């Protein structure tokens, strides 16, 4: 079997052909302590299991594993995790890849869909969101689809595998993501990950980070923790965006995963347009989405990089007897 630990070459033969590329991370030292995140096992059906075996066999050019397990990260990729990736690129002189993977921080203040009524919050995000300690546990945003692939490749380069066990990080397929949304399939299309069709708790607190409508007139002194936007300053309503929250915020679903709905919209393998990988269909909704877009089968289309889009990493654990 081809060695998985040295001179790692991963052929990303994605369903979206424009996202396919080959890259060699041959200067990284495998380090199990560097593996990122906590993962939960998914209960997958025969179809998903067979797809996983087919994928890993083609991806690594190896024999089918004797057993394979699919796991999902409990949290979206955080700024702290992504910053360790960028530092590793710099330290190992991957200058070209580093430039491709840098965040487009200007997205916080450019390409506004609405007129921002409180520039203070947005300017703080622009200056501090990517690198300050205050936001290190918030989800990474404003990165390209290509950067997401490089991040996953880096995880594979620093992972520890051997001839009997292969750990393979990946962006999930659509079917894998839908499985992770909620284990209990009762009221599948109507319920949110927290096992109800309500998006507020009994005390009227949000159960995720998403947009709401404030029917009151605009306040003269907006809350510092809210982005308050409107298409029209004279409008009787305001769309209230609270911005991204820490990746471990809110209640977990029955797979122990946080923020499968809201916070940042998430990418799957099939997300991006064949001829333009900056146009991507996302799942789960974001802090910018209204509650109907947080449902399991709802999707939104964004142009990447976007302040509303991040990623969640999945893992295949493959065993050979």
Whether 229 is in a domain gets the answer no
pLDDT digits (tens, 9 = 90+) for 194-204: 988 899 888 88
pLDDT by residue (tens digit) across 53-103?
A: 999 999 888 899 999 999 999 999 999 999 999 999 999 999 999 999 999
- For residue 231, give every residue at least 6 positions away whose Cβ sits within 8 Å of its Cβ, in sequence order, or none: 114, 115
Is 236 part of a structural domain of the chain? Answer: no
Q: What is the pLDDT, as a whole number, of residue 310?
A: 97
Q: Six-digit token pair at 77? A: 């990729």
Beta bridge partner(s), residue 318: 68, 166
DSSP for residue 270: T
Whether the predicted pLDDT of 300 surpasses 90: yes
d(CA 82, CA 247): 13
- Residue with the larger pLDDT of the pair 237 and 313: 313
Is the residue at 227 inside a domain?
no
- Has residue 232 got a pLDDT over 60? no
pLDDT surpassing 80 at residue 47: yes
What's the number of domains the chain is made of? 1
Which string of DSSP letters, residue by residue, matches 83-119? HHHHHHHHHTT-HHHHHHHS--GGGGTSS-SSEES-H
What is the 8-class DSSP label of residue 56?
Answer: H
What is d(CA 304, CA 264) in angstroms, rounded to the nearest whole number?
Answer: 13
Q: Report the CATH number at residue 133.
A: 3.90.1580
Distance from CA of residue 201 to its chain's centroid?
A: 25
Task: Output the average pLDDT for the chain.
Answer: 82
Does any domain span residue 62? Answer: yes
- Residue 224 in any domain: the answer is no
Specify the higher pLDDT residue, 187 or 72: 72
**Cα–Cα distances in Å, from 214 out to 53, 211, 238, 305, 306?**
48, 10, 5, 28, 25
For 186-204, b/e burial (b = at least 16 CB within 10 A) is eeeeebbbbeeeebeeeee
Q: Is residue 127 part of a domain?
A: yes
Residue 230 falls within a domain, yes or no?
no
CA separation for the pair 236, 241 (Å, rounded): 16
Question: Model confidence over 119-155: pLDDT tens digits?
Answer: 777 888 889 999 999 999 999 999 999 999 999 999 9
Q: How much of the chain, in percent, has pLDDT values that exceed 90?
A: 57
Domain region containing 258 = 8-211+241-319
Q: Answer whether residue 310 is part of any domain.
A: yes
Look at 38-47, 142-151, 174-183, 184-193 and tell me which has the smallest mean pLDDT: 184-193
Sign for the pseudo-dihedral over CA of 245, 251, 256, 260:
negative
Query: What pLDDT is stored for residue 58 in this prediction?
Result: 92
């Amino acid at each position: 079997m081809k060695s998985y630990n040295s001179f790692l070459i991963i052929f990303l033969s994605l369903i979206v052909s424009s996202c396919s590329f080959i890259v060699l991370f041959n200067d990284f030292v495998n380090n199990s302590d560097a593996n990122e995140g906590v993962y939960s096992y998914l209960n997958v059906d025969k179809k998903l299991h067979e797809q996983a075996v087919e994928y890993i066999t083609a991806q690594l050019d190896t024999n089918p594993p004797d057993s394979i397990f699919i796991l999902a990260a409990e949290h979206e990729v955080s700024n702290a995790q992504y910053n360790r990736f960028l530092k590793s690129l710099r330290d190992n002189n991957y200058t070209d890849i580093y430039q491709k993977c840098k965040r487009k921080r200007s997205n916080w203040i450019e390409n506004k869909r609405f007129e921002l009524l409180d520039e203070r919050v947005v300017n703080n995000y622009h200056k501090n969101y990517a690198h300050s300690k205050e936001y290190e546990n918030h989800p990474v945003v404003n990165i390209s689809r290509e950067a997401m692939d490089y991040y996953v490749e880096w995880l594979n380069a620093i992972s520890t595998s051997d001839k009997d066990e292969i750990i393979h990080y990946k962006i999930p397929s659509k079917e894998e993501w839908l499985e992770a949304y909620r284990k209990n399939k009762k009221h599948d299309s109507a319920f949110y990950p927290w096992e109800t069709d309500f998006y507020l708790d009994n005390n009227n607190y949000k159960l995720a980070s998403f947009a709401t409508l404030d029917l009151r007139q605009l306040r003269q002194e907006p809350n510092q923790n809210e982005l308050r936007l409107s298409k029209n300053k004279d409008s009787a309503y305001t769309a209230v965006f609270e911005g991204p929250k820490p990746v471990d915020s809110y209640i977990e679903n029955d797979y122990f995963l946080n923020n499968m709905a809201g916070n940042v919209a998430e990418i799957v393998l099939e997300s991006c347009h064949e001829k333009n990988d900056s146009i991507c269909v996302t799942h789960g909704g974001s802090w910018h989405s209204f509650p109907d877009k947080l449902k399991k089968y709802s999707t939104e289309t964004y142009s990447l990089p976007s302040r509303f889009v991040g990623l969640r990493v999945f893992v295949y654990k493959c065993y050979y007897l």
